[in-house]
Every structure is written in C-alpha cells, then in structure tokens.
C-alpha cells in the first residue's frame, strides 16, 4: 500500500513536470512527423508493388497451387499489389526500381514443405525502397514460418497414415492439396481482419513505421528520469526521511519500480493513441495485442532504466551512462533508422537489443495485422528481458 503511495507520488511529480511531458510526448510525436514526412511525403507511401516468381516445375499442380495460394494470400493485404512474373522480368523490374521487391519461390519448395528438405525463399529488394521491401520481407518470413509449421504437421499426418498402408500417389496429391488449403485458410485469418478494418486506407502509413520506434526511444529517456529519482531521493534526504518512517527499504524499492512502470505504461498508451489521432496509424485489428505489447515494452524500458540507476552511483551518472546506453541501443536496435536494410550480421547484433524486439512487435501488429499469437516471440523476449533487468536491479538496489 505504501509502495503504491510512493509510486503515485512519483507519477504525480513526473506528470506535473513540463520537461517530462515534452520528453514523453512532444518529442516522439514531433520527430515521427518530421522523419515520416521526410521519408514518405505527406500521407504515406503508395501501394507496395512486388512480383512473385514461380519455379518452373511444369505440370506440377502443387507448385502452381502454392504460388497461386501465396499470391492470393498476399493480395488479401490491401496495400500489396502482387503480380506473378518470371525470374528475368522480376530481376529487371526490381533493379530498375519499377517494383519494390520480388519473391523468388525456389524449386523444390513443395519437397521442402512436405519432406523437410532445405530450401530458400529469396526476396529481391529495391535498395531505394527500404521500408516497402522490409514489409514484404516480414510478410515472407511469416509465410515461411507458417509453411514450415504446415509441413511438419503434414509429414506427421503422412507418417501416421502410412503406418496403416502405403498411400497411392493420387491420395498423396489429394492430401497435399487439402493440407495446403488448410494452411491457406490459416494465413487468411489476419488478412480478413485487415479488410474489415481497412477499407479506405490504401497506402502504407510511413508514420506507422517510425511512431513505435521513436516511442520506444523516448520511453527509455523518460524512464531514465524516473530511475534517476532513486538517486535524487537519496541526495535530497527524502530517502533518509522515509527510512525514519515505518517504511521498509523493500517498500521504497517497490514503490520506485511501480512508479516508473506506471509512467512507462501511461506514456506508451498515450503515444499509441496520439499515433492514431495525429498520424492516422491503424495499429492492426487486435487492440488487446497492442495493449499487451505496449505494457510489456513499458516493463522492459522501466526495468532497464532502473538497472542502469542501480549500477550508477549518482544521479548525474544515471544521466551520462544511461544516455550513452540508450543511444547505442537505439542505433543498433533500429529505433532511429530502418534496420531491415542492414546486412545480416548487423541484424544479428540488433537482436540483442531491447529496441529491436519492441519495435519488431509493433511492426508486426501494424503491417502484418498480427494478433497475440503473431507477436508471441516479441512478447516472450521483451518479457524475459524485463524479468532479468528487474531481478538484477532489485538485487543491486537492496544491497545499497
């Protein structure tokens, strides 16, 4: 109870402070506006045009069906403009900037899916169209994930059936077709969600790309201020005074952590709301998932900042060390630029940052209309980071 009072006192102090409000809300919204316009003109970028290249497996129905299914699935997403082309056409169109990206479906994709042999779906990207190509790539990644999962399920079904008796070729094709349809239906679910929510907007909202990344960046800065107040209370004597009241040290630490977290949650939710109001961002059709992602992100940022404070010795060290950590992490993790365009090695480093995963979750919500299941990985990783940061900070703080 006293911890909650301490938390609410902190929240009150922060929300009354004009500088905090500028840092919390004005700067992220302002920067999103500026960068968004710089990248995409006034309203956003036009439809993502890309090509789908079918493997030349003549007379093989599953291959055609697969390509057809993919094309169908992709064009369900309204911002996508898909055409099927040959490899030469696709390479030319992408390198000349006519199309943002081309997806090369490899030969043997059917075997890869049905038998688990390796195969690679290649995405050709127009370097000038980072964001659009990045979006296409994310979609393909999801397609491949589903397809692999479908393949595993399919193989299990074949093996089970063949324990009874060997299947004829006809039966195999029939089953394969049935299974692909089943998979295709699974893909379609989120796409249907988009259609319902998204009838008039035809463009990709470029602000929707930057709003979450700046939100995460400034969330970290706001949290640094909250974490710093742990030192400020010690330096100003209010901590000592609390320690002469019947308040335990655990209550104090609990109160400070809760206060940070509440502020983080408030900031994320307000920024999401402002994103919708100011930039017309549609955060997908799963508001529950958006709220969960926002709350998990808030937990990650607040516990990271408190961890920095629990390592630092003074309030000004929190500022210096914390600012450095945040800037490095934001650069590496893609809070300031589209990390999708970086080389693979760099992206592997990015995966170690909190920013990367937080942003990734929001990108999936916005561009893939993912639900809770679609961002499960992000939630798990950001959640795990929060728990680790939290545990370390509590340990360090209670030793003081």
- Select from 16, 128, 169, 199 the one that contacts another protein (CB under 8 A): 16
DSSP 97: T
Please say which residue, 5 or 172, places its beta carbon nearer to another protein: 5
By the rule CB under 8 A, 245 interacts with another protein: yes
Q: What is the Cα–Cα distance from 376 to 48, expressed in whole angstroms?
A: 26
Query: Six-digit token pair at 339?
Result: 């990390």
Query: Six-digit token pair at 378?
Result: 């992000």
Helix (H) or strand (E) holding 189: helix 169-197
Q: What is the Cα–Cα distance from 282 to 198, expressed in whole angstroms?
A: 8
By the rule CB under 8 A, 247 interacts with another protein: yes
Contact 109, 146 (CB under 8 A): no
* Partner residues linked to 83 by β-bridges: 51
Q: How far is the CB of 301 from another protein (least distance, A)?
A: 23
- Select from 244, 288, 343, 344 the one that contacts another protein (CB under 8 A): 244
Q: How far is the CB of 247 from another protein (least distance, A)?
A: 5
Please say which residue, 15 or 311, places its beta carbon nearer to another protein: 15
- Select from 117, 145, 236, 276 the one that contacts another protein (CB under 8 A): 236
Q: How far is the CB of 249 from another protein (least distance, A)?
A: 10
Question: Which stretch in 9-17, 79-87, 116-124, 202-210 sits in contact with another protein by CB under 8 A?
Answer: 9-17
- Select from 95, 174, 248, 320 the one that contacts another protein (CB under 8 A): 248
Handedness of CA 84, 85, 87, 90 (dihedral sign): negative
- Select from 246, 343, 344, 399 the one that contacts another protein (CB under 8 A): 246
Residues 6+ apart with CB under 8 A from 173: 61, 62
Please say which residue, 236 or 276, places its beta carbon nearer to another protein: 236
Q: How far is the CB of 234 from another protein (least distance, A)?
A: 11
- Select from 2, 155, 172, 282 the one that contacts another protein (CB under 8 A): 2
Question: Which stretch in 5-13, 35-43, 88-96, 111-119 sits in contact with another protein by CB under 8 A?
Answer: 5-13
Handedness of CA 24, 30, 33, 37 (dihedral sign): negative
- Select from 145, 174, 238, 398 the one that contacts another protein (CB under 8 A): 238
Helix (H) or strand (E) holding 206: helix 206-236
- Select from 45, 114, 242, 274 the one that contacts another protein (CB under 8 A): 242
By the rule CB under 8 A, 19 interacts with another protein: no
Please say which residue, 16 or 165, places its beta carbon nearer to another protein: 16
The C-alpha angle 17, 313, 335, rounded to 5 degrees, equals 60
Q: What is the Cα–Cα distance from 172 to 396, expressed in whole angstroms?
A: 61
Helix (H) or strand (E) holding 308: helix 287-311
Dihedral, 155, 158, 164, 169 alpha carbons, nearest 10:
-140
Residues 6+ apart with CB under 8 A from 35: 210, 214
Q: What is the Cα–Cα distance from 192 to 210, expressed in whole angstroms?
A: 25
Q: How far is the CB of 17 from another protein (least distance, A)?
A: 7
Residues in the chain: 400
Instruction: Number of residues interacting with another protein: please give it, by CB under 8 A.
Output: 20
By the rule CB under 8 A, 398 interacts with another protein: no
- Select from 122, 192, 240, 324 the one that contacts another protein (CB under 8 A): 240
Question: Which stretch in 102-110, 143-151, 211-219, 233-241 sits in contact with another protein by CB under 8 A?
Answer: 233-241
Q: What is the Cα–Cα distance from 136 to 125, expressed in whole angstroms?
A: 9
Q: Cα 71 from chain centroid?
A: 24
- Select from 181, 186, 241, 400 the one that contacts another protein (CB under 8 A): 241
Q: How far is the CB of 241 from another protein (least distance, A)?
A: 4
Q: What is the Cα–Cα distance from 124 to 99, expressed in whole angstroms?
A: 10
Query: Six-digit token pair at 108?
Result: 């043997």
By the rule CB under 8 A, 9 interacts with another protein: yes
Map residue 114 onto helix, strand or coil.
helix
Contact flags string 181-220 toward another protein, x per CB under 8 A: ----------------------------------------
Please say which residue, 243 or 328, places its beta carbon nearer to another protein: 243
By the rule CB under 8 A, 400 interacts with another protein: no
Q: What is the Cα–Cα distance from 187 to 350, expressed in whole angstroms?
A: 28
The contact set with another protein (CB under 8 A) reads 2, 5-6, 9, 12-13, 16-17, 236-238, 240-248
């Amino acid at each position: 109870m006293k911890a909650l009072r301490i938390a609410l006192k902190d929240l009150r102090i922060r929300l009354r402070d004009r500088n905090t409000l500028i840092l919390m809300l004005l700067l992220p919204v302002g920067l999103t506006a500026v960068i968004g316009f710089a990248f995409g003109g006034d309203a956003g970028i036009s439809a993502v045009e890309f090509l789908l290249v079918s493997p030349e497996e003549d007379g093989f129905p599953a291959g055609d069906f697969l390509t057809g299914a993919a094309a169908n699935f992709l064009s369900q997403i309204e911002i996508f403009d898909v055409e099927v082309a040959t490899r030469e056409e696709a390479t030319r169109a992408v390198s000349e900037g006519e199309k943002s990206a081309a997806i090369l479906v490899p030969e043997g994709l059917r075997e890869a899916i049905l038998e688990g042999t390796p195969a690679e779906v290649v995405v050709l990207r127009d370097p000038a169209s980072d964001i659009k190509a990045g979006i296409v790539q994310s979609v393909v990644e999801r397609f491949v994930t589903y397809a692999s999962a479908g393949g595993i399920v399919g193989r299990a079904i074949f093996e089970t059936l063949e324990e009874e008796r060997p299947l004829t070729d006809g039966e195999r094709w029939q089953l394969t077709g049935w299974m692909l349809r089943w998979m295709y239906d699974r893909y379609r679910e989120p796409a249907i969600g988009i259609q319902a929510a998204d009838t008039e907007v035809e463009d990709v909202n470029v602000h929707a790309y930057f709003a979450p990344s700046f939100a995460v960046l400034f969330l970290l800065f706001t949290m640094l201020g909250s974490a710093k107040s742990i030192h400020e209370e010690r330096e100003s004597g209010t901590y000592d005074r609390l320690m002469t009241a019947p308040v335990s040290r655990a209550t104090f630490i609990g109160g400070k952590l809760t206060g940070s977290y509440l502020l983080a949650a408030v900031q994320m939710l307000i920024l999401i709301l402002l994103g919708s109001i100011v930039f017309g961002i549609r955060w997908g059709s799963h508001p529950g998932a958006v709220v969960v992602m926002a709350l998990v992100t808030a937990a990650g940022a607040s516990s990271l900042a408190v961890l920095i404070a629990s390592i630092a010795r003074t309030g000004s060290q929190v500022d210096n060390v914390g600012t450095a950590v945040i800037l490095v992490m934001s650069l590496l993790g893609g809070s300031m630029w589209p990390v999708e365009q970086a080389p693979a090695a760099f992206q592997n480093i990015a995966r170690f940052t909190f920013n990367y995963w937080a942003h990734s979750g929001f990108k999936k919500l916005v561009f893939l209309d993912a639900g809770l299941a679609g961002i499960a990985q992000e939630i798990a990783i950001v959640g795990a980071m929060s728990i680790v940061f939290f545990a370390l900070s509590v340990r360090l703080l209670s030793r003081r």
